[in-house]
Structures are given as structure tokens and as C-alpha cells.
Amino acid sequence: MSNKLQFSTYTKYAPFLVFVAGLCFITSLLFTIKKDAFFSGDAGLKYLMVKQISHGGSYYTIDLNSTAWVKEIWSQGFYPLKSPFVYDSPRGKIVSFPPAFQVISSKLYKWFGFPGLYLVTCLSVPALWLSFIVLLRRAGLRESDIAVGLLLLVFCSPLTVYAALYWEHTLSTFLMFNAVAFLVKPPASPVVAAAMGLLAGMSVWLRPEMLLLCGLIFIVLAFNNYGKHSFTNIVFIVSALSGVIAFFLFNASVYGNILGAHSYQLLENERVTMGRENRSAVLVHINARLLIYFPFILFTLLPVAYLTKRKWLPTASWQLSMIVIIFSLTAPFFLPNAGGKQWGPRYFLPLIPTVLTIFCLTIAGLKISLLKNRILLALLIPVVVYSLYVNVYLAYNTVRDDYAFRVKPGLNYLKGIPGDILVVQNQYITQEFAAITNQKKVFLAEDTNSFEKLGILLKSAGVQRIIYMASDRDHIMRPQNLITGNRSMKQTGGYYFAVYELK
């Protein structure tokens, strides 16, 4: 009896211990961040928008302030940013990212400087953990099982590393999880239901793919409400829809269409590529990536398997499973790409806490103890060990090395080298080196012909010296009729540089 009591005492504090360990992991990730360096080019462009908004500038068009002669050359096809990130319009160059995250970040940047950028990203993750714990407790799970579920969420998924990446995915996932929590355990209070609905609806302001996830959950809630007429269900749906409709109205007012500038990417992809084949490739890529970084996605099939055997399970388990499966199979057909440079499939991050909720509810419904069932433990332990290796060890080393060695050395080099004319080989360099745009005049030349034309224009403007920058050795330009001086390459960090004198 005493041993049983002692075990119960230990497991009571297990979720708290996992939570604290998770905070320590996030802290270690945050210490890897280097000022002005970002993990992705997206973040650099958003950083430019944040600085612009914090100084009272536009929240949806970007203005790289420069002199008249620079703008004249930009207008001839050498602007350092282009689609699918920046689009020309009569009102200026529209940025394709939804502006909500940049607007929020601009206030924190104004108050706290560069570290303020990461407050939203890192605080959203523990907020999600707390919501996960509260939901499982309300669902009646044992503390030991909650601790295991939290362990999988914190250390065995690609979600936690996003606390140290400047992206809006952590906040949107936290907001959307309110819909999952409501579906599993609706609150008795209509006020709480309204608050949860509004938070879930606001997730679409950050990530467009949340529209599909919201829609699927709305359909399930409407189905559950059929014949039962739950007032809290209606309140939640109306509240969530108000956030979604407000998003549509905002986009219609600012961008002229209800989906906003992000929809430009989808339309452009359909024109440029063979849409159907491209979407099929995205479908395979994202789902395979999710399986590699988060193999627990396979447990989504567990409730479905038990349903086919007519065994009882919580209704929310199989309903959420169907939502995850449908989203996984249909979302890639509405996404602009497969996610680019990322850790795990960033578009599918909202599925991670949902899948673990399914797993924990299913185990509880089958009355299985995660820590006492040997068969389940034998299945779980190898997957846990693999996931810890990928999402803790590899994730930490990847983020640390990326911040320290890929972009930061090049930034330091550019800040110290004489000359204020920088020519880049692709627009991703402009984004990743966004911090340098206030010191250098940046131009884009993607091939030899455009480089030669740009050189003539720069020469006529009185420029004698340029710095050229490429992402790989093969793209360093060396047109003999245009340049003299130093033609040798210098590799610094992940990029190549050459300094030229114009003839």
C-alpha cells in the first residue's frame, strides 16, 4: 500500500516536471539565436515589415527606403524582392504574408528590441502545453498518462523547436487548439465557449491553412449539435465564425479578395506549374515529412481500427482522427508549396497536439495505463527514443549551427567591408540578409545578362565598386567585359562573395 501511495505521489507531479524540463529546452534553444540572423528567409522579410510597422509604416506593402536613382534602377527589373513573396500593385509592393503576426511583433520589437520578436513564438508553446494538460485533466486522464502525453508533445514532436524560430506557427497552433479542446470537452459556460471560439477563429489571421481545419471542426460540431441543440456549441461556432468572417472582410477591403495576398501564391503556382502533379508531389512530401519527424501520426489510425471492430471509444477520438486524416489528404491541394526550409512539416504543426490528444483519449477510453501496459510500452519506447533523437538532439544542433554559421558570418563580413552596393543572385539572400538593407543598396541580378545590364546602369549612376553575393560557387558572375579587380571568391558562412570594380 505504501509503495502504491508513493508511486501516486510521484506521478502527481510528473506533468509539472515534464513542463519545467520543456521550459529548460526552450531556453537552451533561445540561447542559440544570433541577432539579425534568421532560420528562414520568410523571417527576414517579416523582420523588415516589423521594423517598418514599428516606425508607423504600412502593414501590407513594403518600402525599402532609398534614393531616387536606386528606385529608378529597381523599376527596371532589379528590385531585390519578387513573387511569390512580394507583388506589384498600384498601391505599392504587397507582401504576401498575412500582416497580423507582423503587427503584433512590431509592438514587442518597439518595446524590447530584437529579443521582442521571439516573445510570441516562445510563449505560445508553453501556453499550448498548459492547454493540453488542462484538457486531459478535464477529460479524466491519470496524471501519469498526462505526463506521458506531455512528454511526447514537448520532446518528441517538431513543434517545440519553433519556439526559437521567428514564425507564426506556434501562436496559430495554440489558438486552433481551443477548437480541439472544445470538441473534446465543451465548457458549461457560454462565455468560455465564446472566448474559445473567438481564439480558434483568430488562428486564420495567422495561417491560411487554418481555414480548412476550422471548417472541418465546424462541420463536426454542427453534426454533434444536430438534434441536441447545444447552446454552447452554437455560441462557439458563431464566435469562431465571427473571427473568420472578420478576416474575410479585412482581406476584401485591403487586398480585394477574401483570402488575402497569400492567395496570389496559389494562383501563380497554378499558372506556372502543372497544378495537379505539383499538388500530388506536395501531398506525398508533407505527409512523408510528418511521418519522419512525428511518427506518432500513425496512432491516428488506432481509433479507426477499433471502430471497425465495434469497440467503444470516446466519440471525440474517432472524430478528431477523421479530421486529421481528411486535413492531411486535402490541405496540400490548397497550399502554395511544401514549406521550404523548415523543421518538420510546418503547415501540419496544428495536427501534432491533436494527434496526441487522440492518442491519450483512446488509451483512456480503452482503460489502458501507458506506464503499466508492457505491450504498449514495447511499441512506444523505440518510437520515443527515435523521436527524442530527431526533435531534441538533431533539432538543437541544427538550429544552433544554422544561427551561428550559415548567415551570421556573412552579415558580419558585409557590415565590415567598404562599399554600399550589394548585388545578390537570388531574392532569398535579400530576405536572409534583411538586416543589411539599411546599410547597403541591394539589387537583384539572377543571371549573367541581367548582371551585365545592371552593371551598365550602376556605372552610369557613378558606381565604381560592387559586392556580389551568391548562394553557391557556381553562381558567382565573372563577365570579363564588365569588371576588373578582385575576381576571387570568398566563402563566408553559407554564402560566396566577390568584390568587383566596374570598368
Helix residue ranges, H only, 331-373: 351-365
What is the rounded distance in angstroms from the CA atom of residue 30 to the CA atom of residue 329? 34
Give the model's pLDDT for residue 307: 60
Kindly give, in sequence order, each residue whose CB lies less than 8 Å from that of residue 66, ignoring residues fewer than 6 positions away: 74, 441
Give the model's pLDDT for residue 419: 87
Phi and psi at 484, nearest 5°, equal -135, 180
What is the rounded distance in angstroms from the CA atom of residue 257 to the CA atom of residue 248? 8
What is the rounded distance in angstroms from the CA atom of residue 476 to the CA atom of residue 170? 38
Q: Which among 467, 459, 471 is positioned nearest to 423, based on CA atoms?
A: 467
Q: Which among 325, 301, 320, 299 is positioned nearest to 379, based on CA atoms?
A: 299
For the chain, the residue count is 503
- Judged on CB neighbours under 10 Å (0-12, 13-18, 19+), 492 is middle
List the beta bridge partners of residue 465: 501
CA distances from 61 to 35, 248, 258, 262 (A): 25, 19, 17, 13
DSSP symbol at 404 = I
What is the rounded distance in angstroms from the CA atom of residue 480 to the CA atom of residue 491? 21
What is the distance between the terminal CA atoms of the chain, rounded to a whole angstrom?
Answer: 90
CA distances from 468 to 179, 439, 451 (A): 49, 15, 10
Identify the sign of the CA torsion 487, 491, 496, 500. negative
Give the model's pLDDT for residue 112: 96
In SS3 terms, 258-301 reads as: CCCCHHHHHHHHHHHCCHHHHHHHHHHHHHHHHHHHCHHHHHHH
For residues 391 and 153, is the Cβ–Cβ distance under 8 A?
no
Q: Quickly tell me which residue has 483519449 as its cell.
A: 361
For residues 179 and 217, is the Cβ–Cβ distance under 8 A?
yes
Q: Which among 172, 188, 174 is positioned nearest to 236, based on CA atoms?
A: 188
DSSP symbol at 444 = E
In SS3 terms, 67-128 reads as: CHHHHHHHHHHHCCCCCCCEEEECCEEEECCCCHHHHHHHHHHHHHCHHHHHHHHHHHHHHH
Identify the sign of the CA torsion 31, 97, 445, 339. positive
Tens digit of each residue's pLDDT, the chain (503 residues): 455 545 455 678 899 999 999 999 999 999 999 999 999 999 999 999 999 999 999 999 999 988 999 999 999 999 999 999 999 989 999 999 999 999 999 999 999 999 999 999 999 999 999 999 999 999 999 898 899 999 999 999 999 999 999 999 999 999 999 999 999 999 999 999 999 999 999 999 999 999 999 999 999 998 888 767 789 999 999 999 999 999 999 999 999 899 888 777 766 655 445 454 477 889 999 999 999 999 998 877 766 666 655 566 778 888 998 999 999 999 998 888 888 899 999 999 999 999 999 989 888 877 777 667 777 788 889 999 999 999 999 999 999 999 999 999 999 999 988 889 999 999 999 999 999 999 999 999 998 889 989 999 999 999 988 999 998 877 676 665 566 555 567 889 999 998 888 87
**Which grid coordinates belong to 495?**
554564402
Strand 441-444 to 483-484 pairing: unpaired
Helix residue ranges, H only, 366-447: 374-388, 395-401, 408-416, 427-432
Give the model's pLDDT for residue 483: 60
Give the model's pLDDT for residue 274: 42
Widest Cα–Cα separation across the chain: 90
What is the rounded distance in angstroms from the CA atom of residue 494 to the CA atom of residue 488? 17
**Which grid coordinates belong to 220?**
463536426
What angle (nearest 5°) sits at the alpha carbon of residue 397, between those of residues 406 and 399? 50
